[in-house]
Structure formats: structure tokens, C-alpha cells
Chains A and B, each alone.
Chain A
Amino acid sequence: MKSSATVFLAAFLALAASWGGFVLAPQIQLGRSVQTVPLGSASLYPLARPGLAQQGLQVYRANGCVYCHTQQIGQEGAQADIYLAEAGTNVAATLAAITKINPEMAKPEVLSNLPRKIVEVADMNAAEPVVRELKAGGGRVEPVIVANGPDIARGWGKRRTVAQDYLQDYPVQLGTRRVGPDLANVGMRWTDPNWHYRHLYAPASALQDSKMPPYRYLFERRRMGQVASPDALQLTGEWAPPAGYEIVPKAEARALVAYLLSLRADAPLFEAPLTPPAGNTAPTNAPAPVVNPPVAAASAQ
């Protein structure tokens, strides 16, 4: 190149192209996204996180959880599982239909133990004729969409994450490294705030052999009053504070745990379909109401 002007022009063209592609284009494609109504639901998604959880997002940012945890789930595809819920009045017709669809399941004892999965097909389009056929005997048939892939199988989510899931957050911290498990749905896996407190204070006390660094500085060790505070951590063994002392979460820890509990991206969306769990008509990223040991915990570790 003979002149500096050519150099600048070259640099300008190259950079302008990627600026248009990776800065402007996503803004055009996604910038005007608004809340949507998930499939089979009446409320909007995503709702803003509750105030405390929003503060918790800032605690998450300030302490750099993103360097070890992603918050994005991939899936390899989806399939439709077709369940027979009720055999209907014309059992013979239903059995005949099953024989045609999946001969292995065509046994009378199958019908006495419903609901049962009859067959898996590729997607909802493929499911439609199968459902029609099965209904011939007057039975009740339920196609259920499930996502596939290692992330899903690990219990990290029910479906892949999509742009819609992050609409309300700032900063959006998708992460690039999985030193720890993905946290996009951690609020569905670990629903007990006390577990989170213990895990943050002393990870190894909550999960054997944990390599996660402890966050003791988010907690306060203080002298116990007449009675233990209701929010004192239940710690045993090597993690227990000396007698007469108790460990209580500071405001940051409370906010952080509220945020972790609010992490769930499971609303069935048009772009990431999923059959909504029965009875849950309001998918939300608000904290899960139930407080019980997580079902997916075993697979999540």
C-alpha cells in the first residue's frame, strides 16, 4: 500500500463490516424484543427479577462468579414423547393403534398401568398423525416435548436458553468457562436458601470434595444471643463456629441467594418449545416457591 489513506480505508472497511454484523445486526434483530407470552400460559415472560435478586445479580458480578460458571444451556434437538393417559372406551381400537405405532407396547397390561410413554417421535409435526391415530379408541393422549443433549441430561435445564431469557438483566453474564456447573437454572435444582448459604460459606460442607472457593466474607461471625438467630447457618463438624458464636449471612449473601434462586429459564417459548409441566401455568423467573431437596441434585453434581 502506497499511502496511509489506503491503510485507513482498509481498516475502516474491515472493522465497519464486523461492527455492522456483531454490534448493529443483533441490536436490530433483538433490540426491540419485548416480554412474550410463553406457550400454554397467560402471564408475560420474562418478568423482572424481584428487587433483592436484582441486587444479588450485582453481587454475582462483583465477585466474579462468571469466571467459573456459565449461564447458558445448549440442546442437541428436541423430541416429542407421546403418552397415553387413558385407554378410552374402545380398548381394542386403542390396542390396534398401538400395534401399528409401536408393536412392542401393544400388550394389554400396558393399558392397565397408565399413563405410559408409547413412542418417541422427532417433533410435534411428526407427533400429530400419531396422536390422531391413538385417539381412535377414544383415549386421552398427551404429546410432550422434551429437549435433548448433555446439558439437559445433566439436569442443568429443561431446554436450551434463548435470547428472551436474558431480557431483563444487566449485565448479562453468559460466561465462557465451566469450572463449575452451569447456573442458568440453578434456582430449579437447589431450591433451599439454607443450602445455598451453607454452600457459599463452605462449599465442601454442602457438596463433598467441592473445589469451589468459599465466600466466607459474605457472612458474619457473631456472638450468639440468648437464642440462636433464626437465620444462623446450620453448620457441623469442621465448619461449625466456636461455641457461643454463630454465622449469619450478610446483606450481600441474602441478595446473592435470592438471585440464585431466581435463576430458572424454563418457560416454554415458541423458539424453545417444551411442554409446560402440568399445573404450572405461570412460568417465571421469580424464586421457586417450594422449599425441598432438589430432585435433579443427583444428576447435577
Chain B
Amino acid sequence: MTAPAVTNRPAALAADSSTAGIDASCRLPLFMLFGGAAFWLVLGSIFGFIASLKFHKADFLADAAWLTFGRVYPASTNLLVYGFAIPVALGVALWMLARLGRVQLARPWLVTVGAKLWHIGVCVGLIAILAGEATGFEWLEMPRYAAVILLLAYLLIAVWAFSTHHARKERTLYPSQWFVLAALFWFPWIYSTATLLLQFFPVRGVTQAAIAWWYSGNLLFVWLALAGLASSFYFLPKLVGRPLQSSYLALFVFWTLILFGTWVGIPAGATLPAWMPTLSNMAAMMMVVPAAAVVLMVVQTTRGAKTACGGGPLCYMKFGTGALALSVLLLAASGLPFVNRFTDFTWFGTAKLQLWVYGFFAMTLFGAVYYILPRVAGFELPAAKAVRVHFWCGVIGTLLFALPLAIGGVLQGVKLANPDIPFTDVTKATLMFFRLGTMGELLILAGNLLFLFNIGAVLVRYYLAVCRAACADLTAPLPTAEVKP
């Protein structure tokens, strides 16, 4: 193992606004955010895998309350979004803000504390879900004591993100910064509204359901999209060495995404005043507009570029765009009344979300992390090959999970709509597809393990070097060592 090279530079350099100085200022907070995120990601996919095995054998792990389907399943979705997606997006966002603003990250140690606090909140929430304390609202299962920790942690990170942005030396805004700023602002609003009105001062009746759907729609279709697109628009031009095509389209995407996306999420068959699902369906169809513009941007930006993607970050981002397009097509289709008659309340929705959350968001962010990590660590990824393997696991896994489930979902819906088909036959017909999906989940789990492996290896190597330097410091006869990171 060779010692990290870039860390061996004079301390004076770390205080300036060179790229190396900026990367160094992000190091510890990003290690904290990415490391925890990778761990939760793997743990979440293990829970998800357990949950789906129960469809193969209902008896599987059925004797422990904490391992029942209704607990491991929300544990897996919550770990994917709160454990992985949010911290990883925050990490990438902080780094982009610093790099684009040409300033060092403000108060890295406070951001690190915020990151730790966030992971503590996730841990508390996870234990609560497994212990049967989940709230009963989908995507918002973590009970209020975990929610308070999460919100505080988020604010702690967001404040220093804003502060970094405020102190920027490069005043002109790049499109990614719009997306990041809007995302930073979006989450505290939706999360505090949902937590207050559903947990601290609960509203009555189906308004609870309306608020829960409003929240999850905004979290998944706006927040994740803002964070994911910020990364695409930053990294794609960088990776192909061409300017973003174009800022005007990016502005169009920004506006249409926040205007339409924020209304998405209420199922067509929801027991709510009829105007609400109708509005939500219309918004779902309108999401085609920003999605088409994103595809256009990505095609125009990368077209003709000589860069081969070779299983690296560029591949991840391109696949992410494809998954976004496919997912939005499914979303828009389920906005049409003659389609959602057959897709409502089926596996179709699960397929759509998997494409969105994993296919688009997670894959894009993996690409970003693989790009950033060597730079902030100061050395190459220990297992560069694993990046490529992870890519293929992610691609095949996502498709193998989402496509059968989308088809199976339609079949389920068609059969449900025919009351002459007994319910057990409906279940039997869809389980086949679901079982195919389990193989996809297994591949995704494998890919996630590779992600964890790479990040873990970076952290271990970095901290070993730090320890070694500290030891050398202690034992050195003269104060010549400047190897402190």
C-alpha cells in the first residue's frame, strides 16, 4: 500500500482556494456522508432481499416480529432514501457548491457533525421501524423522535452549504447550483410539514393520507430529481469535455420540474376528493416535458464526444438518464385513466419507483461519488475494476427488477379488474414476475456491496495513513514531518 500522495502537501496550501485545497476541505464531511450512505445502502438492500424472499416462501423468518414483511420492507425503503440517497446527495452537493463557487467548504467539522447526527437519526429510525414504531405513512415511517434528529442534522449541513455558497468567489451561477439550492430548501419544508401535521399535531381523516402522498411525491419526484439532475448537469459536461447544452434548456427543466413534479404522487384510485387525484395525474403526464428536455440536453451535450465511458462515471450518468426517461414514461402512462384503471395499486408502481430511485437517482450519484472520491481522498480508488462490475450489476439488476414487475403489475391490474378471476389466481399470476425481480434485487445487492467495498477501502486506507503519520510524528526525533493530512 502506497501512502497517499496528495495529502503530503504543505499545510499552507490547504487554506487557499486551489482545487486541491477545496477538495481537502470537503474530505472529512464527504467521507462521513458517503461512508455511512454506502453502509445503509447495503443494509437496506439486504432487508429488501429478505422482504422479497418472503414471496417465495411465506414462512421464511416468520417467527420474529422484527423480521416480518411489514417491518423489513419499510426498513429497506427508508434505508435507501434516508440512509443512502439523502446523505450521498448532500455530500455531492456540498462538493459541487465548493468547486463551482471556488471556495473551500465552510466549517467542515460542523458539517461532519451534521453528517454524524444524520446517521444517528437514521439508526434510531431504523431501530424504531424494526421495533414496530413506524408511523404507518409510507416513505415517512421514521417516528418523530428520529425525525427531529434528522431535521436538525439536515439543517446543520444545509446552513454550512448555504454559507459556502454565499462566500463563493465565482459569482456567476451554473445550472447545477440552482438545482442544489432548490433541493436544500425543499426538504426542510416538506419534512417539517409532514412531521408536524402527521405526527405532532395530526390532522383528521384522509387529509393524513393526502399530506403523506404530497410529502412522498415531493421527496421522490422533486428532491431526488433536483439532486440527481444537479449531478448530471455538472458531471456530464466535465466527463465529455464539452459545455452543457444548454443553460436555457436547463432553466426550462428546472422550472417545469418544480412546477409539475410537486403535484405528483396521489394514486388515481385514492379515497380523496376527486380533484386531487385528477390534478396529480395531470402533473404526472406533464412530467414528460422536463424528462424530454433532460434527454435532449444529455444527448446534445454528449453527442460526438470522443470519450468512451468504459463502465466509469459517464456510463452511470448516461444510464441514469435512460432510466429517468423510462420511469417518467411509466409515470405518465399511469396518469391516463384508461391505463391507471389497471395499474393502480399494483406492482407497476413499485417498478416505476425502482427505475426512478435506483435506476436514475442512485446510478447517477454512484457515478458522481466514483468521480469525487479519488479527488478528495488524494489517491485512486483501490478497486477500480469493481466500478465497472458495479455498473453492470446496477444496470442488469435494475432492469431485471423493474421490467418484470411493470409487466406483472399490468397483468395483476387486468386480472384484478375482472371479478370473475379469483384473487388467489391474481396472486399466483404475479408472483412469477415478482420472483424474476428477486434476481434483479440480488444483482443490485452485489453491486451495492462493491460500492461499499470501494468506499470502505478508501476510508481504511486514508485513516491508516493518518495513524501512521501520527505515529511517525510521535516517534520522530525532530519536528520535520509535515505529513499531517
Residues of A at under 8 Å CB distance from B?
1-4, 7-8, 10-12, 14-15, 17-19, 21-23, 26-27, 29-31, 33, 61-68, 70, 72-74, 150, 153-154, 160-167, 169-181, 203-204, 207-217, 299-301
Contacts and interface: CB of A to CB of B under 8 A. Distances in A.
A14 B258 contact: yes
B270 A4 contact: no
A64 B74 contact: yes
Contacts of B423: 154, 181, 300-301
B428 interface: yes
Given A22-B211, A214-B59, A72 B270 contact: yes
Given A7-B181, A14-B259, A176-B138, A27 B424 contact: no
A23 B270 contact: no
A256 B255 CA distance: 47
Contact of B266 (A22, A61, A172, A211): A22
A181 B259 CA distance: 36
B251 interface: yes
A18 B262 contact: yes
B205 A171 contact: no
Nearest to B68: A63
A14 B286 CA distance: 15
B89 interface: no
Given A14-B259, A65-B70, A214 B206 contact: no
Contacts of A179: 427
Contacts, number: 213
Contacts of B350: 177
A213 B207 contact: no
Contacts of A21: 263, 276, 279
Contacts of A160: 271
B473 interface: no
* Top 5 A-B residue pairs of the complex, sorted by shortest distance between their CB atoms: A64-B70, A62-B132, A153-B419, A171-B136, A22-B214
A210 B58 contact: yes
Contacts of A22: 210-211, 213-214, 263, 266, 276
Given A11-B185, A67-B73, 9 more contacts: A22-B266, A26-B210, A33-B205, A65-B70, A66-B70, A72-B271, A166-B271, A171-B198, A216-B62
Interface string B230-256: 000000000000000000000100110
B54 A10 contact: no
B65 A166 contact: no
Contacts of B134: 61-62, 64
A210 B62 CA distance: 14
Given A15-B218, A63-B65, A211-B58, A172 B206 contact: yes
A257 B175 CA distance: 55
Contact of A64 (B73, B208, B345, B412): B73
B318 interface: no
